[in-house]
Structure 1
Amino acid sequence: MTSDLEPGARRQGPAVLRGRSIPQTTTDQRLLDSRGPSDWLHADPWRVLRIQAEFVEGFGLLAELPKAVSVFGSARTKPGSQEYELGVEIGALLHEAGYAVITGGGPGIMEAANRGCDDAGGVSVGLGIELPFEQRLNDHVGIGLEFRYFFVRKTMFVKYSQAFVVLPGGFGTLDELFEAITLVQTKKITRFPVVLVGTEFWGGLMEWIRKVMVPSGKISPEDLDLFHLTDDPGEVVQIITDMHARHERLLRQEEAAQAAAAEAGDGT
Structure 2
Amino acid sequence: MTQDPSAPDGGLPFAGLSALVTGGASGIGLATATLLAERGARVACLDLTAEVPEPLLGLRADVSDDASVRASVATAAEAFGGLDIVVNNAGIGAAGTVEDNPDEEWHRVLDVNLLGVVRVTRAALPHLRRSSAPAIVNTCSVAATTGLPDRALYSATKGALLALTRATAADLLADGVRVNCVNPGTVDTPWVGRLLSAADDPAAERAALEARQPTGRLVAAVEVAEAIAHLAGPWSSAVTGTALPVDGGMHGLRTRPTR
Please give the range of the TM-score, normalised by the shorter of the 2 chains. Answer: 0.3 to 0.5
Of the two, which has the highest radius of gyration?
A: 1
TM-score (norm 1): 0.33
- Greater helix percent: which structure? 1
TM-score (norm 2): 0.34
